């Protein structure tokens, strides 16, 4: 059997590519759909009615084939390398003009194209009537109307794409203005005989050279002889002299001219666009006076919700695990195996799983903000503040996603095209308190602070992370990465009512990853911690407790002097070290440590971790707070460090991050503890 | 390759070019009406242009530009635009006067002078924050404004304030008069992009987002802290910082509408 056909989905951001893709492939793919911008090419499979298998690629959204940011580069590379035999160009029917601009470029790639005229329902609601047949004639490629979120038209779409792919029907590029065409005609013969250039790409390359595309000019794809580059420069200079504009601007103007012309021809208005609810909502959310307070209120509501709704739910799970531990303790014979299961697995993994409700609520909130389009408004509202700290309004999106998990957040920095902006954002994102730190806070706040103040204490930690991140950004911007910031040019997508399905899928995927992590990394770390904190056993009759005599106990004692200024005893010190693997492990380590440390005689009425912590004389609210500050700031988990190394392009930055965050964490936790002691007395 | 045309022939060519707009043919009557001349003079002019290979014209059929006629007219219109830009942006002449004078000047000056003028304009405007600083100070002086920064002494001494220099200010601007940076236009104002300053990737990015010469746009709102701004262009919302907006020179089409609520 032949290799499966590969079809790429390309389109502007917010054109609904991903919903079409999901409708065709079934929602969940082997690359998780992170809440956030699609930053990687995602793969999926679809089987046609005749049994043919088709592979689908979901490319990151892009406005143009001129790549600015890392995610746009990803999309462009996939198309240039001919990873696909056909392109589905997804076009938002309610925003035809700008979406057609990308189509004018896609048809130059010498790959068959089909247009998915998506969200036709939304266009209809806005009173737009689109003449699909006429559009098809004007653009010269098949056009299929679709509604991605309902799955309408997707079968026709994929069949049309397979058809053009099989026929190998190359689209005909649009003619640009006479000056540009003349310049292209001059350059084309020069590149015609280049090694490795397919004949069908001649026009594309000539245009890109005329536009002075940095990557193509520097020969990343084709080695270009110097005399060709010189001649291209001459043609560019002539054109510029003649028309007083850079050729790349002339080309863009021409393309928009075509797009606007086509849009005018095919779009009719059935009714005057009504004054919409969304406009009214928007006038509050981005209001000059109310915009910022509303943002703070929304954030506050999110954290209150996480704590107030999540708290009772997680107590329920805690009770269930407590019962499971007690039951197993009773039914199993005393010995290493019982200790392994009860103190290692149940308390370690259970201690983490208890916080699933909070994690799910947090992701629910983020998914809602993202799917409604509020996230972009938030970036709009805070850009001025971010700018003052040397960041970018768009940095807000990765930073907010950082509340979920640093790993996708660091990947989401790909929306930033300036390397300085991007590195700064990468380095400060880990201080946006991720959901893995939430269990630590939830545990300690629950144990040491009254319930009515829990939300405020939690918000203070998140707030501290944000403020420190901003200060650090300012510091990096004025030392490591000097220079002007990238221009802030961002689309404000239309408000959309998110489908319950999409939101639930988002939330479920994240929660499932969390559960998987509990079953793998955290289980393994729990077992290691159990072993380290159980062995070697102290000699019989010794005064010293099992835990203190164990390897973990001794390691904790060894670093205790270093951590003492921050108020941590050896038990907390051990927990901190184990948190390198993943921050939830801090909780499971504490569970294991206090589980192993608990008097075996009390089996049957196993105290919860919360009660054990409260009973420990070394613990009090101040130590708990200093500890939470430390956990907030110190080294992000190993996976996050690895992602930083990959995205920043060097381990040097990852190493810097580890030292910088851990140093700051120690300094601030110490400051909190010492100042707190003075105040409390 | 281009033979010189008389100024009236250039006018004909320009008018045909403008009327043809979207590529459809132009009627002789339209040309006559537009220029305020008689039908026979148009016919005779068309014969000259047709002999020069610039238009195709048969009896009772619409007039069409040949490719070389189109290119020639393009260059003429461009020359006209360059002059208008020089008059409005450097000399701060108001748009209406500039349009009229450019019409007359364009036939009078030779290609070399014109090209130099375009070069000069670009050199002055290419880096609006660095090189054009002196120009801003000169303009401020003409307007009788005081500079916040210490002015070049020679500008102060040599240049007296001038009468009738338009002020680039959202309130003082009248519709259809002069160009101003988008950053000084208030919310609710509709305007048209006439010219873009600055070069390089940020200019390119704006072009990719659909901000080209001639595109209409409307300022929708300003963010809580005064920056960035939200504009509606080509049917969607785009936000820009004021720094970027300052690079976009617009012509205001309509006074700010009163908010309806």
Averaging pLDDT over each range in A373-377, A672-676, B19-23, B70-74, which range is the top one? A672-676
Interface of B with A in 158-197 (CB under 8 A): 196
Q: Are A119 and A92 in contact (CB under 8 A)?
A: yes
The answer to whether B2 contacts chain A (CB < 8 Å) is no
Distance CA B34, CA B11 (A): 11
Which pLDDT score, from 0 to 100, does residue A590 have? 85
Check CB contact under 8 Å for A381 and B223.
Answer: yes
Residue A145 and residue A187 share a domain = no
For an interface test with B, which of A384, A393, A420, A421 has the most B Cβ atoms less than 10 Å from its Cβ?
Answer: A384
Is residue A286 in some structural domain?
Answer: no
Structural domain ending residue among the three candidates A134, A167, A200: A167
| A662-671 mean pLDDT | 94
Provide the pLDDT confidence category of residue B146 given band limits of 50, 70 and 90.
low
Residue-averaged pLDDT of chain B: 75
The answer to whether B203 contacts chain A (CB < 8 Å) is yes
pLDDT for A677 beyond 70: yes
Cα nearest neighbour of B247 on chain A: A487
For an interface test with B, which of A98, A127, A263 has the most B Cβ atoms less than 10 Å from its Cβ?
Answer: A98
**B160 min Cα distance to partner chain A (Å):** 32
Distance CA A182, CA A236 (A): 11
Residue A315 and residue A244 share a domain = no
| A229-240 mean pLDDT | 89
pLDDT for B174 beyond 60: no
Question: Rounded to 5 degrees, what angle do the CA atoms A559, A560, A563 make?
Answer: 95
Lookup: tokens for A549: 């005599």
- Per-residue pLDDT tens digits for A522-542: 778 777 777 887 777 777 766
Residues recorded for chain B: 261
The answer to whether B74 contacts chain A (CB < 8 Å) is yes
Q: Are A554 and A599 in contact (CB under 8 A)?
A: no
Between B199, B212, B237, which is nearest A492 by CB? Answer: B237
Which pLDDT score, from 0 to 100, does residue B257 have? 44
- CATH code of residue A20: 3.40.50.300
Residue A505 and residue A402 share a domain = yes
Lookup: tokens for A397: 């999106």
Between B222, B225, B241, which is nearest A488 by CB? Answer: B241
Return the number of other C-beta atoms located less than 10 Å from residue B148's C-beta. 7
Cα nearest neighbour of A97 on chain B: B234
Residue A184 and residue A162 share a domain = no
The answer to whether B127 contacts chain A (CB < 8 Å) is no
pLDDT for A486 beyond 90: no
The answer to whether B70 contacts chain A (CB < 8 Å) is yes
Give the three-state DSSP class for A165. helix
Give bridge partners of residue A449 from the DSSP assignment.
Answer: none
Distance CA B30, CA A289 (A): 54
Lookup: tokens for A383: 């850009």
Give the three-state DSSP class for B20. helix
Is residue A281 in some structural domain?
Answer: no
- Per-residue pLDDT tens digits for A417-444: 678 888 999 999 999 988 788 888 988 9
| Residues in contact with B68: Cβ distance below 8 Å, sequence separation at least 6, in sequence order | B53, B54
Q: Are A394 and A422 in contact (CB under 8 A)?
A: no
Q: Are A381 and B239 in contact (CB under 8 A)?
A: no
**A287 to chain B: which residues are within 8 Å by CB?**
224
Interface contacts (A, B; CB < 8 Å): 134
Check CB contact under 8 Å for B225 and A385.
Answer: yes
ipTM for the predicted complex comes to: 0.76
Residue limits of CATH 2.30.30.90 in chain B? 180-252
**B206 min Cα distance to partner chain A (Å):** 7
| A215-228 mean pLDDT | 73
Domain housing A435: 294-482+499-680
- Per-residue pLDDT tens digits for A12-26: 888 888 788 888 887
Structural domain ending residue among the three candidates A127, A145, A167: A167
Distance CA B126, CA A408 (A): 40
Distance CA A29, CA A17 (A): 15
- Per-residue pLDDT tens digits for B41-54: 888 888 888 888 88
Which pLDDT score, from 0 to 100, does residue A630 have? 94
Distance CA A286, CA A283 (A): 6
Is residue A274 in some structural domain?
Answer: no
For an interface test with B, which of A256, A262, A392 has the most B Cβ atoms less than 10 Å from its Cβ?
Answer: A256
Nearest to B55 by CA among B22, B110, B14: B14
Question: Rounded to 5 degrees, what angle do the CA atoms B119, B123, B128 make?
Answer: 140
Which pLDDT score, from 0 to 100, does residue A320 have? 86
Helix axes A202-210 and A247-266, enclosed angle (nearest 10): 120
Check CB contact under 8 Å for B224 and A292.
Answer: yes
Lookup: tokens for A244: 């007083």
Sheet holding B180-181, edge to edge: A489-492, B236-240, B229-233, B216-222, B190-196, B248-252, B180-181
Check CB contact under 8 Å for A98 and B236.
Answer: yes
Cα nearest neighbour of A491 on chain B: B238
| Dihedral-angle region of residue A481 (phi above 0 means left; psi in -120 to 50 means alpha; beta otherwise) | beta
Residue A203 and residue A87 share a domain = no
Nearest to A579 by CA among A510, A633, A533: A633
Give bridge partners of residue B248 from the DSSP assignment.
Answer: B196
Is residue A494 in some structural domain?
Answer: no
Number of domains present in the structure of chain A: 3
Distance CA A285, CA B222 (A): 12
Check CB contact under 8 Å for A242 and B78.
Answer: yes
Provide the pLDDT confidence category of residue A371 given band limits of 50, 70 and 90.
confident
Distance CA A88, CA A158 (A): 8
pLDDT for B22 beyond 80: no
Lookup: tokens for A112: 């068959």
Between A97, A242, A493, which is nearest B234 by CB? Answer: A97
**B238 to chain A: which residues are within 8 Å by CB?**
489-492
Residue A262 and residue A149 share a domain = no
pLDDT for A206 beyond 50: yes
Domain B7-70, what fold? Arc Repressor Mutant, subunit A (1.10.10)
Which pLDDT score, from 0 to 100, does residue A88 have? 95
**A286 to chain B: which residues are within 8 Å by CB?**
221, 223-224, 230
Residue A228 and residue A93 share a domain = no
For an interface test with A, which of B70, B218, B239 has the most A Cβ atoms less than 10 Å from its Cβ?
Answer: B239
SS (H, E, C) A492-510: ECCCCCCCHHHHHHHHHHH
Nearest to A296 by CA among A388, A360, A385: A385
Give the three-state DSSP class for B124. helix
Residue-averaged pLDDT of chain A: 82
Provide the pLDDT confidence category of residue B159 given band limits of 50, 70 and 90.
low
pLDDT for A100 beyond 90: yes
DSSP A534-573: H-SPPPTT-SS-HHHHSHHHHHHHHHHHHHGGGT--HHHH
Residue limits of CATH 1.10.10.10 in chain B? 7-70
**B203 to chain A: which residues are within 8 Å by CB?**
246, 249
DSSP A65-92: SS--SHHHHHHHHHHHTT--SEEEEEEE
**B224 to chain A: which residues are within 8 Å by CB?**
286-289, 291-292, 381, 384
Cα nearest neighbour of A288 on chain B: B224
Between the alpha carbon of residue A158 and those of residues A21, A90, A152, A194, the distances in Å are 10, 12, 12, 35
The least confident of A528-542, B31-45, B100-114, B198-212 is A528-542
Check CB contact under 8 Å for B205 and A489.
Answer: yes
| B103-109 mean pLDDT | 80
Q: Are A416 and A69 in contact (CB under 8 A)?
A: yes
| A110-136 mean pLDDT | 90
CATH C-level class of B180-252: mainly beta
- Per-residue pLDDT tens digits for A537-574: 777 766 667 777 888 888 888 888 998 999 998 888 88
pTM confidence score: 0.69
**A374 min Cα distance to partner chain B (Å):** 13
Is residue A492 in some structural domain?
Answer: no
Between A243, A253, A260, which is nearest B207 by CB? Answer: A253
Check CB contact under 8 Å for A387 and B227.
Answer: yes
Which pLDDT score, from 0 to 100, does residue A604 have? 45
Distance CA A74, CA A558 (A): 48
Which pLDDT score, from 0 to 100, does residue B201 have? 77
**B118 to chain A: which residues are within 8 Å by CB?**
241, 244
Which pLDDT score, from 0 to 100, does residue A33 have? 31
Is residue A283 in some structural domain?
Answer: no
pLDDT for A142 beyond 60: yes
Which pLDDT score, from 0 to 100, does residue A184 have? 92
pLDDT for A165 beyond 90: yes
DSSP A229-254: HHHHHHHHHHHHHHHSS-HHHHHHHH
């Amino acid at each position: 059997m032949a290799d499966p056909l590969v079809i790429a989905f390309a389109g502007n951001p917010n054109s609904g590519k991903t919903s079409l893709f999901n409708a065709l492939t079934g929602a969940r793919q082997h690359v998780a759909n992170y809440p956030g911008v699609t930053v990687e090419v995602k793969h999926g499979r679809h089987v046609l009615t005749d049994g043919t298998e088709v592979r689908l690629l979901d490319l990151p959204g892009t406005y143009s084939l001129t790549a600015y940011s890392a995610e746009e580069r990803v999309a462009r590379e996939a198309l240039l390398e001919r990873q696909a035999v056909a392109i589905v160009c997804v076009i938002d029917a309610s925003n035809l003009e700008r979406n057609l601009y990308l189509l004018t470029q896609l048809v130059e790639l010498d790959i068959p194209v089909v247009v998915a005229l998506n969200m036709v329902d939304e266009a209809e609601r806005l009173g737009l009537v689109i003449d699909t047949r006429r559009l098809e004639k004007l653009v010269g490629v098949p056009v299929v109307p679709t509604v991605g979120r309902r799955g309408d038209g997707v079968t026709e779409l994929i069949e049309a794409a397979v058809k053009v792919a099989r026929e190998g029907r190359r689209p005909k590029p649009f003619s640009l203005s006479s000056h540009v065409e003349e310049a292209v005609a001059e350059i084309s013969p020069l590149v015609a005989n280049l090694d490795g250039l397919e004949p069908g790409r001649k026009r594309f390359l000539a245009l890109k050279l005329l536009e002075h595309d940095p990557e193509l000019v520097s020969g990343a794809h084709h080695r270009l002889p110097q005399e060709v580059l010189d001649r291209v420069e001459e043609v560019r200079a002539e054109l510029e002299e003649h028309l007083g504009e850079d050729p790349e601007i002339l080309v863009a103007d021409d393309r928009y001219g075509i797009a606007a012309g086509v849009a005018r021809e095919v779009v009719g208005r059935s009714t005057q666009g009504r004054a919409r609810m969304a406009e009214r909502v928007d006038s509050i959310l981005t209001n000059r006076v109310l915009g910022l307070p509303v943002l703070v209120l929304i954030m506050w509501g999110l954290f209150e919700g996480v704590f107030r709704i999540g708290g009772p739910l997680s107590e329920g799970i805690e009770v269930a695990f407590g019962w499971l531990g007690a039951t197993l303790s009773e039914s199993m014979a005393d010995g290493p195996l019982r200790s392994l299961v009860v103190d290692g697995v149940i308390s370690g993994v259970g201690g983490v799983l208890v916080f699933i409700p909070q994690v799910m609520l947090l992701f629910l909130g983020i998914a809602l903000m993202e799917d409604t389009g509020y996230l972009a408004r938030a970036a709009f509202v805070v850009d001025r503040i971010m700018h003052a700290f040397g960041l970018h309004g768009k940095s807000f999106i990765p930073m907010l996603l950082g509340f979920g998990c640093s790993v996708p957040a660091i990947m989401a920095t790909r929306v930033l095209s300036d390397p300085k902006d991007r590195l700064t954002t990468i380095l400060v994102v880990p201080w946006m308190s991720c959901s893995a730190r939430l269990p630590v806070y939830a545990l300690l706040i629950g144990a040491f602070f009254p319930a009515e103040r829990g939300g405020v204490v939690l918000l203070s930690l998140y707030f501290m992370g944000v403020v420190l991140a901003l200060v650090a950004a300012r510091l990096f911007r004025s030392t490591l990465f000097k220079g002007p910031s990238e221009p802030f040019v961002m689309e404000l997508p239309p408000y959309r009512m998110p489908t319950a399905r999409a939101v639930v899928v988002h939330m479920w995927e994240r929660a499932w990853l969390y559960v998987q992590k509990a079953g793998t990394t955290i289980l393994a770390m729990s077992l290691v911690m159990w072993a380290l904190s159980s062995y070697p056993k102290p000699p019989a009759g010794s005064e010293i407790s099992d835990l203190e005599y164990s390897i973990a106990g001794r390691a904790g004692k060894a670093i205790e002097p270093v951590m003492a200024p921050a108020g941590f005893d050896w038990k907390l010190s051990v927990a901190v070290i184990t948190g390198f693997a993943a921050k939830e492990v801090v909780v499971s380590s504490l569970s294991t440590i206090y589980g192993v440390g608990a008097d075996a005689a009390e089996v049957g009425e196993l105290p919860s971790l919360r009660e054990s912590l409260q009973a420990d004389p070394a613990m009090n609210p101040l130590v708990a707070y200093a500890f939470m500050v430390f956990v907030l700031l110190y080294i992000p988990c190993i996976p996050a460090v690895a992602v930083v190394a990959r995205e920043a392009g060097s381990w040097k930055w990852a190493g810097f991050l580890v030292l910088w965050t851990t140093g700051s964490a120690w300094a601030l936790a110490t400051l909190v503890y010492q100042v707190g002691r003075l105040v409390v007395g | 390759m281009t033979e010189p045309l008389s100024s009236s022939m250039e006018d004909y060519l320009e008018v045909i070019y403008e009327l043809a707009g979207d590529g459809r043919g132009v009627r002789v009557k339209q040309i006559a009406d537009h220029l305020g001349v008689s039908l026979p003079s148009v016919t005779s002019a068309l014969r000259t242009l047709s002999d020069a290979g610039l238009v195709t014209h048969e009896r009772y059929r619409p007039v069409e530009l040949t490719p070389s006629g189109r290119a020639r007219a393009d260059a003429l219109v461009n020359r006209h635009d360059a002059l208008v830009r020089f008059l409005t942006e450097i000399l701060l002449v108001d748009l209406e006067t500039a349009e009229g004078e450019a019409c007359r000047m364009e036939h009078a000056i030779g290609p070399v002078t014109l090209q130099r003028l375009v070069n000069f304009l670009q050199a002055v405007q290419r880096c609006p924050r660095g090189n054009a600083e002196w120009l801003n100070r000169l303009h401020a002086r003409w307007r009788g404004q005081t500079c916040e920064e210490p002015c070049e002494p020679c500008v102060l001494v040599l240049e007296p304030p001038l009468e009738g220099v338009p002020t680039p200010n959202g309130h003082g601007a009248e519709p259809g008069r002069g160009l101003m940076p988008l950053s000084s236009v208030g919310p609710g104002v509709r305007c048209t992009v006439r010219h873009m300053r600055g070069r390089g990737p940020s200019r390119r990015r704006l072009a990719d987002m659909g901000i080209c010469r001639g595109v209409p746009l409307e300022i929708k709102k300003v963010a809580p802290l005064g920056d960035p701004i939200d504009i509606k262009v080509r049917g969607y919302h785009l936000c820009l910082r004021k720094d970027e907006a300052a690079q976009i020179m617009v012509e205001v089409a309509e006074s700010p509408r009163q908010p309806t609520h």
